[in-house]
């Protein structure tokens, strides 16, 4: 009896290996190849390193030359496009510590104007290398320090003459002579004028440029302090003669002085409000305040009121030193007003063309 032999397990398993083994291996290999390809592709999409991204930013090189000799002083490299002229000055100061940023003057051309600190360096670039010319502006002081020093001096100097120090006047003659009321009134008005200037310097005015040469402060102090000493010496002198027309002349002149001081203050407040609000597209217009109505006639009413104050003070005290000082102040403020009026004509021509600079009658 023949028994049917059962195929062994290895023989039973060898058929699939022989028949389909090659197909199974090729399928696994293709799957592995696909996974490897996806891994390579995903690896290629990795974000670029910070160094690669950083290298795409354009930097400028600022070459700084001496304005006189045209010799190169230094090169400020790796200046970002968002940097300002002030940033370049600070980098220049690190390279040349003897020149502080406040005394560094940079020009795009040798005979051109000095660049403002707020100018963006990218606006000056024609290529990746920017050439600027350096000028040493000398020792500088801040505008706040400038005006506080200039106005504090006259205030204190006048008071020293008012109390009649023994080193200035003869004490015997000082006790004999009676002080006319105009002497006290003149001291009040003079102090009021400079106290107003000091308070406006601290709380009203905003200065666009941060510094000015020290020599300008010395000139200003010499002018104001010297004239104040001369004026105070005569008004507070024991034999001082009161005005010719007496009480009426003093009263009218004092009233005009106070009105001019008030007008000057309100004009400065209006100009400061326009600057702080950022509304520089139109000429300052008068408000409900009557003191600002002078804007309808002149473009620089603050100078008009300032001149009116000193003319009134001259009439009130009737002294030659005050008259000379007022005359010089009117000339100086007229020059400032004409210069400012020309700038207004460029910016606000239709509104300013029929206005005077400082004196309403002269168009």
Residue 182 has pLDDT above 50, yes or no: yes
Q: Which of 211, 241, 271 is the last residue in one of the domains?
A: 241
pLDDT score at 28:
53
* Domain assignment of residue 166, yes or no: yes
Q: How many domains does the chain have?
A: 3
Non-local (6+) Cβ contacts of 169 within 8 A are 236, 237, 238
Query: Look-up: residue for tokens 């406040």?
Result: 102
Across the chain, mean pLDDT equals: 84
Is residue 166 very low, low, confident or very high in pLDDT (cuts 50, 70, 90)? confident
Domain that holds residue 287: 242-362
Q: CATH number, domain at 85?
A: 3.10.20.90
pLDDT of residue 22: 42
Q: Which stretch of DSSP H or E encloses residue 134?
A: strand 129-136
Residues 146 and 90 in one domain: no
Q: Considering the domain boundaries, does residue 285 fall inside one?
A: yes
Q: For residues 263 and 289, what is the distance between their CA atoms, to the nearest angstrom?
A: 9
Are both 88 and 123 inside the same structural domain?
yes
Reported as a pLDDT band with limits 50, 70 and 90, residue 352 is: confident
Last residue of a domain, one of 138, 164, 184: 138
**345 occurs within a structural domain:** yes
The DSSP string of 152-173 is HHHHHHHHHHHTT-TTTS-HHH
Spatial distance between the Cα atoms of 185 and 350, rounded to a whole number of angstroms? 44
The answer to whether residue 3 sits within a structural domain is no
**What is the value of pTM for the model shown?**
0.78
Is there a domain that residue 175 lies in? yes
Name which of 122-126, 223-227, 280-284 the model is least confident about.
280-284
What percentage of the chain reaches a pLDDT higher than 70? 82
Tell whether 16 is covered by a domain: no
- Helices 214-235 & 181-203 angle (0-180, nearest 10): 160
Do 151 and 252 share a structural domain? no
247 in the same domain as 356? yes
Nearest-angstrom CA–CA distance, 231 and 161: 10
92 contact partners, CB below 8 Å, separation of at least 6:
64, 74, 76, 99, 101, 104, 134
Is residue 126 in a domain? Answer: yes
In a domain, 209, yes or no: yes
Do 105 and 116 lie in one domain? The reply is yes
Domain identity same for 194 and 232? yes
Helix (H, G, I), strand (E, B) or coil at 237: coil
Q: pLDDT tier at 32 (50, 70, 90 boundaries)?
A: low
Q: What is the structure's pLDDT at 283?
A: 77
> Do 248 and 300 reside in the same domain of the chain?
yes
260/349 same-domain check: yes
Domain-terminating residue out of 188, 212, 241 = 241
Tell me: do 316 and 217 sit in the same domain: no
Tell me: do 218 and 119 sit in the same domain: no
Going by C-alpha positions, the residue among 306, 312, 310, 145 that lies closest to residue 227 is 310
Strand pairing partners for 25?
Answer: none
Q: What is the pLDDT of residue 57?
A: 59
Mean pLDDT calculated for residue range 333-347:
90
Confidence of residue 353 (pLDDT cuts 50, 70, 90): confident
Which pLDDT value is given to residue 33?
52
Same domain, 130 and 199: no
Question: Where is pLDDT greater, at 354 or 111?
Answer: 111
| Distance, CA of 214 to chain centre | 17
**Do 255 and 358 share a structural domain?**
yes
């Amino acid at each position: 009896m023949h028994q049917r032999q059962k195929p062994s397990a290895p023989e039973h398993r060898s058929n699939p290996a022989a028949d389909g083994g090659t197909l199974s291996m090729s399928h696994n290999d293709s799957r592995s190849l696909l996974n490897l390809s996806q891994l390579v592709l995903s690896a290629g999409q990795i974000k670029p390193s910070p160094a690669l991204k950083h290298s795409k930013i354009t930097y400028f090189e600022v070459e700084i030359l001496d304005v006189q000799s045209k010799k190169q002083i230094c090169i400020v490299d790796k200046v970002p496009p968002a940097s300002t002229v002030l940033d370049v000055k600070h980098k220049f100061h690190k390279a040349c510590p003897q020149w502080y940023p406040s005394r560094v003057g940079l020009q795009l051309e040798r005979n051109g104007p000095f660049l403002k600190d707020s100018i963006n360096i990218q606006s000056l670039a024609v290529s990746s290398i920017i050439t600027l010319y350096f000028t040493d502006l000398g020792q500088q002081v801040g505008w706040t320090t400038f005006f506080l020093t200039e106005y504090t001096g006259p205030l204190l100097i006048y008071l020293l003459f008012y109390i009649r120090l023994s080193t200035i006047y003869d004490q015997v003659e000082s006790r004999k002579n009676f002080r006319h009321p105009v002497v006290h009134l003149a001291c009040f008005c003079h102090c009021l004028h400079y106290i107003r200037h000091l308070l406006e310097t601290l709380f009203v005015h905003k200065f666009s440029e941060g510094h000015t040469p020290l020599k300008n402060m010395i000139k200003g102090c010499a002018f104001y302090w010297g004239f104040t000493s001369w004026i105070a010496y005569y008004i507070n002198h024991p034999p001082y003669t009161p005005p010719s027309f007496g009480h009426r002349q003093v009263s009218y002149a004092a009233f005009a002085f106070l009105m001019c001081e008030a007008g000057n203050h309100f004009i400065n407040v209006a100009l400061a409000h326009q600057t702080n609000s950022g509304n520089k597209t139109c000429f300052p217009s008068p408000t409900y305040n009557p003191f600002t109505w002078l804007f309808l006639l002149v473009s620089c009413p603050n100078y008009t009121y300032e001149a009116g104050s000193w003319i009134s003070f001259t009439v009130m005290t009737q002294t030659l030193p005050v008259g000379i000082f007022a005359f010089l102040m009117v000339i100086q403020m007229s020059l400032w007003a004409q210069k400012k009026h020309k700038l207004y004509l460029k910016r606000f021509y239709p509104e300013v063309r029929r206005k005077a600079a400082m004196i309403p009658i002269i168009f």
